[in-house]
Structure 1
Amino acid sequence: MFKLRKGLRGQRRRRGVALLGAMLLPLIGTIVAAPPASAAAVTASCVKTSDWGTGFEGKCTITNGTGSAINGWRVEFDLPSGTTIGSSWDAVRTSSGNHYTFTNAGWNGTVNPGATASFGFNGSGGGWISGCRVNGAACDGSDGGGGDTQAPSTPGNLRSTGKSASSVSLAWNAATDNVGVTGYDVYQGATRTTSVTGTATTVSGLSASTAYTFTVRARDAAGNTSAASNAVSVTTDPGGGGGPGGNKVIGYFAQWGVYQRAYHVKNIDTSGSAAKLTHINYAFGNVQNGQCTIGDSYADYDRAYTAAESVDGVADTWDAGALRGSFNQLRKLKQKHPHLKVIWSFGGWTWSGGFGQAAANPAAFANSCYNLVEDPRWADVFDGIDIDWEYPNACGLSCDTSGFSSFRNLMSALRTRFGSGNLVTAAITADGTSGGKIDAADYAGAAQYVDWYLPMTYDYFGAFDADGPTAPHSPLTSYSGIPIPGFYSDAAIQKLKSKGIPASKLLLGVGFYGRGWTGVSQSAPGGSATGAAPGTYEAGIEDYKVLKTRCPSTGTVGGTAYAYCGNQWWSYDTPSTIGGKMSYAKNQGLAGSFFWELSGDTTGGELITAVRNGLG
């Protein structure tokens, strides 16, 4: 028995609609409006695409403003003491002390007139670059400014266009210049926080309930700087601020894994994963006729395990009333690892169609769930319930029209019935687009009833779009060329926090699998394809334990890895990229991380080890 993976499949079939709404979002430190043409030169613009206070992701874009192609580029700059770069992509990085040099990768060295190339990097610390040079000249082209001494006009009407507990979005009217404006510097008080080429940005990494004052200055190619704009003061929203993160590590165990995959509860122990987990989500129970029901009775509580298959080396019996199957193995696993909690998850992509009827009578639904989870045969196995509704008041495999309040009402009823002694959690959408699935239901109102949310920050892109473009299925941050703005993890986390949901109730999702295309002719993201790459159990999907050797990683983008082998293109997380994601989770003050699902890891638990070590 096999059920489709959890994730964002609902958006995929309405990509045009999602894209139209998402284009209205301001992007952190990215181009919003093209600047006027500057003097002919090769320039480089470096911005922070994400900033969480103690670290950041940066991006540099090289623009060929000359009339001839360039064959090779080099960008170098300095960072202040205490700020370092830990990883980079799409360039070759060298460093000497705090001086960093980036040269083109083999495939992106030729830049035609008017074209661009880019590279990215992750850093720690709160500083930013200085002394930027491209191919030996000033990054802003001022070395070839032709004696221009006239400063741009002052940017007008600086204003706040949005805010959250940890960020402020700004916009302003464009400045003018006798030659051309090449960028804008945004200041927080007397400190320059970012430089952008457009007329909008989002300043992140701020503290909740705190007043900040911003100004902006315009720059031209010769380095002339305008006077400061009007100042705008903004107080961030309360709650959801960053801080030390939690250390929850939650892994999904898929009940159907006991069939073809031959992955049993014992594997959680022998791989070393049990010692690294804090919670296991058992997937899935079904939702039928407004009630919680058993998903697969044979796998759940009837399959007889031999002594060799059993966690404790003792075979199941056929005695009347004896518990068998995965439930009994989970009981034994908890006895061996007393710190472990097990939560029964209901719904999922395939079985979410019944939630609409359940929402019509939340109290009756909650009572049915309690009676099933607390059934005397296995009451000691489970420590609570997880609801995986894909998606309330929106479309997944089927469309739900139960209304904005339905999810809140359902979670309220579950909390009332399960009480404070049981865990009540929910896996939720990670659609960060404007007007998307997060906006469709009252996740903020329901947050008071849950112990935590698990935003499914994976499955953003994949071969369900058979012709591409190729894109990572679980990007942490945005990147140039992302097919749908707002389809990345940080956008979802910030959107949820902006609604007042505390960071301490959010976990970051990781996929222990990859998504891939075939018929691809380029290594870099954004290529066209002819269909889904072959997978062991499903086309377009493959476990990390297979991909790590079959199609090793060849690059990273948006904080995750991708691989190009033959004519196949895959995206998946590696121990290295998981380390970066865990740093993000800690810096954002999240409760920890969860992953789908245990059987995708290696027999030695490479990925869960990276999760555990990253969270500390």
Structure 2
Amino acid sequence: MRKITIGSLAAAAALLVPLGIGTATAATPATATFSKASDWGSGFEGKVTVKAGTGALSSWKVEFDLPAGTSISSAWDADMTKSGDHYTFVNKAWNGSLAAGASVSFGFNGAPGGLSGVLNCKLNGAACDGTGNPGPTPTPTVTPTVDPTPTPTVTPTVDPDPSGKKIVGYFTEWGTYDRKFQVKNLVDNGSAAKLTHILYAFGNTSGGRCSVGDAYAAYEKSFTAENSVDGVADTWDAPLRGNFNQLRKLKAKYPHIKLIWSFGGWTWSGGFTQAAANPAAFADSCHALLNDPRWAGLFDGIDIDWEYPNACGLTCDTSGPNAFKNLISALRAKFGPGKLVTAAITADGSTGGKIDATDYAGAISNLDWLMPMTYDYFGAFNAQGPTAPHSPLTSYPGIPKDGFNSDAAIQKLTSKGIPASKLLLGIGFYGRGWSGVTQAAPGGTATGPAPGTYEQGIEDYKVLKTKCPATGTVGGTAYAFCGGNWWSYDTPATIAGKMAYAKSRGLGGAFFWETSGDTTDGELITAIANGLK
């Protein structure tokens, strides 16, 4: 046995100190941080992010003062009360509990612009910057000696857009047929690396319930190795095939992508009228479908594409202005805070138009974001014209209808108290066109729709860019005149302008219809991604 001396004990103790034995990890306090999402001079959109420290939070309350003459008119994701210039925000029932290190944000609109910060901010009675907010008592930790065997490191998933803007694209279920656009094409054309979210279109709403649109395309069709995301062919006895299995493989390869199942659309919106009569039953059916054991865990949320609540689309709905709000509330209650709930809505910015028919602002606290469909304003559904761009960003002299442009829709929605950060700008990856046109400038007469590959009056951008190249721009988008046909569509250049607009207005990002219309090297989605940086 080796003899232990007093000196050797002292030396051993000295060696222990650098290893951290008996040292304590300092507690990190909870904080609340104010930032300004956008400012348009006459008003502003603010955001406060609450972050738990070393200990979890079971609830939170943020309060602060504003400079005299500045006021807040509306808030979301928190309950607001005010007394003079003092404002208090308390968590909702679904976002009060925060695990250690987790964060949540709430927002508000106010006036006038120019606010640089808030005053006397407190989080649960302590300073918002963490001073005077001690957190839990630190627990002693032991730092182990270094193992000579290297520990594998995990590379974190990087959001495709470091700005945090959303890039959301529709993937159509039926694209697997005539269009031959498969999930693998999202890898081949570079879209998968740029998308933050995919909307799978569409689920059906017949009978006021969520149901599968096309079972064969969704989960039965077998893919060859050549058409499979991972190069592995489906077997006849695989428990899941079809688009769903390919999307599962895509998410494994690109774990940053979130997948949302979209229900309704132009053809299947009629079922929402019955759903609105019993929102809870509708929500139950949707939750059960998204969690079907065959594809459980595939979908990160649900999207409602109701065309249009309390207004007319393919059919007319008379459920009233609260129907949409009630439906979204039921979905949020059923799916909880951990799943995405989104909606594609009308972009009719005219006075007394479809936006005014529904209380979209009343639903926004239960939605992660709204997607006003800022396209299809004009087209050969008016066969004789006048020719006009289907997706104008702004108005222009001679536009056929006031309020039928993207900016009008965004301004109307924000004026109703919907935060700009919860709005995405819509982009069409296609054009709309007329035939029998004699003038290149907008406003000409026509004799009918221009011929298209799959449908008269509509053509993919990937075809139009060479078939009928752009000859001019109007209202922030492009148009083309060739051989008596007049087309309007967005190009990489006009998309860059629209993304600059989205950033200047503080929008949450952009979405597009739909993935198969882009070029094989992803020209349009690249323009969106670059424009939002």
- What TM-score results when the alignment is normalised by the length of structure 1? 0.61
Structure with more helix by fraction:
2
Equivalent residues in 2 for 1:30-179 (5 A)?
Answer: none
State the match for 1:133 in structure 2.
Answer: none
2:210 pairs with one of 292, 313, 316: 292
One-letter amino acid matched to 1:478: S
State the match for 2:65 in structure 1.
Answer: none
Shift of 1:52: 6.3
State yes or no: 1:523 paired with 2:440.
yes
State the match for 2:493 in structure 1.
Answer: 576
Distance 1:379 1:344 in 2: 13
State the match for 2:169 in structure 1.
Answer: 251
SS in 1 for 2:364: helix
Distance 2:164 2:402 in 1: 28
8 Å contact from structure 1 (residues 245, 590) kept in 2 = no
State yes or no: 1:303 paired with 2:303.
no
Distance 2:268 2:219 in 1: 19
2:258 pairs with one of 341, 350, 353: 341
What is the root-mean-square deviation of aligned Cα atoms in Å? Answer: 1.6
SS in 1 for 2:308: coil
Once the two structures are superposed, residues 306-331 of structure 1 have per-residue CA deviations (whole angstroms, 9 ceiling, x without a partner) of: 111100000111226x1000000000
Once the two structures are superposed, residues 60-118 of structure 1 have per-residue CA deviations (whole angstroms, 9 ceiling, x without a partner) of: xxxxxxxxxxxxxxxxxxxxxxxxxxxxxxxxxxxxxxxxxxxxxxxxxxxxxxxxxxx
SS in 2 for 1:312: coil
Distance 1:374 1:504 in 2: 29
State the match for 2:324 in structure 1.
Answer: 407
State the match for 1:393 in structure 2.
Answer: 310
* Percent of pairs with identical residues: 74
Once the two structures are superposed, residues 188-235 of structure 1 have per-residue CA deviations (whole angstroms, 9 ceiling, x without a partner) of: xxxxxxxxxxxxxxxxxxx941179xxxxxxxxxxxxxxxxxxxxxxx
SS in 2 for 1:349: helix
8 Å contact from structure 1 (residues 245, 585) kept in 2 = no
Greater RCO structure (CA 8 Å; 6+ sep):
1
Stretches of structure 2 that go unaligned for 5 or more consecutive residues are 1-38, 42-72, 75-108, 115-161
SS in 2 for 1:293: coil
Distance 2:334 2:459 in 1: 39
Once the two structures are superposed, residues 6-52 of structure 1 have per-residue CA deviations (whole angstroms, 9 ceiling, x without a partner) of: xxxxxxxxxxxxxxxxxxxxxxxxxxxxxxxxxxxxxxxxxxxxx96
State yes or no: 1:482 paired with 2:387.
no
State yes or no: 1:533 paired with 2:450.
yes
One-letter amino acid matched to 1:209: A
Distance 1:416 1:503 in 2: 24
2:471 pairs with one of 542, 554, 576: 554
Shift of 1:566: 1.2
Distance 1:262 1:548 in 2: 20
Shift of 1:463: 0.3
State the match for 1:269 in structure 2.
Answer: 187
Distance 2:307 2:366 in 1: 19
Distance 1:374 1:513 in 2: 33
Distance 2:381 2:110 in 1: 39
8 Å contact from structure 2 (residues 40, 113) kept in 1 = no
Distance 1:530 1:368 in 2: 46
Distance 1:52 1:480 in 2: 24
8 Å contact from structure 1 (residues 471, 525) kept in 2 = yes
State yes or no: 1:544 paired with 2:461.
yes
One-letter amino acid matched to 1:299: A
SS in 1 for 2:511: strand
One-letter amino acid matched to 2:173: Q
State the match for 1:358 in structure 2.
Answer: 275
SS in 1 for 2:210: strand
Cα gap change, 1:52/1:572 in structure 2, threshold over 3 Å: closer, same or farther? farther
Once the two structures are superposed, residues 422-463 of structure 1 have per-residue CA deviations (whole angstroms, 9 ceiling, x without a partner) of: 000000000000111001111000011100001000000000
One-letter amino acid matched to 1:408: K
Distance 2:422 2:296 in 1: 25
SS in 1 for 2:459: strand
SS in 2 for 1:466: coil
Shift of 1:521: 0.5
8 Å contact from structure 1 (residues 349, 390) kept in 2 = yes
Distance 1:524 1:281 in 2: 35
Distance 1:209 1:402 in 2: 34
SS in 2 for 1:516: strand
Distance 2:197 2:403 in 1: 29
Distance 1:571 1:557 in 2: 9
One-letter amino acid matched to 1:502: P
One-letter amino acid matched to 2:111: S
Once the two structures are superposed, residues 538-581 of structure 1 have per-residue CA deviations (whole angstroms, 9 ceiling, x without a partner) of: 00000000000000000000000000001000000000000000
Distance 1:299 1:319 in 2: 17
1:460 pairs with one of 367, 374, 377: 377
Distance 2:295 2:433 in 1: 39
State yes or no: 1:329 paired with 2:256.
no
Distance 1:548 1:330 in 2: 29
Distance 2:292 2:345 in 1: 26
State the match for 1:143 in structure 2.
Answer: none
Q: Which structure has the larger Rg over C-alpha atoms? A: 2
Distance 1:338 1:52 in 2: 36
State the match for 1:4 in structure 2.
Answer: none
Equivalent residues in 2 for 1:601-616 (5 A)?
Answer: 601-616=518-533
Cα gap change, 1:333/1:211 in structure 2, threshold over 3 Å: closer, same or farther? closer
Distance 2:163 2:382 in 1: 35
State the match for 2:151 in structure 1.
Answer: none
Structure with more strand by fraction:
1
8 Å contact from structure 1 (residues 287, 293) kept in 2 = yes
Distance 1:356 1:579 in 2: 38
Shift of 1:247: 1.3
Cα gap change, 1:386/1:211 in structure 2, threshold over 3 Å: closer, same or farther? closer
SS in 2 for 1:292: coil
8 Å contact from structure 1 (residues 507, 593) kept in 2 = yes
2:389 pairs with one of 442, 463, 472: 472
State the match for 2:360 in structure 1.
Answer: 443
Distance 1:52 1:471 in 2: 29
Distance 2:474 2:379 in 1: 15
SS in 1 for 2:205: strand
One-letter amino acid matched to 2:112: T
One-letter amino acid matched to 1:544: Y
1:428 pairs with one of 313, 336, 345: 345
Distance 1:303 1:598 in 2: 20
Shift of 1:377: 1.1
1:597 pairs with one of 489, 496, 514: 514
Shift of 1:288: 1.1
State yes or no: 1:210 paired with 2:112.
yes
One-letter amino acid matched to 2:265: G
Cα gap change, 1:498/1:246 in structure 2, threshold over 3 Å: closer, same or farther? farther
Stretches of structure 1 that go unaligned for 5 or more consecutive residues are 1-50, 54-163, 166-206, 213-243
Distance 1:406 1:537 in 2: 35
SS in 2 for 1:522: coil
State the match for 2:119 in structure 1.
Answer: none
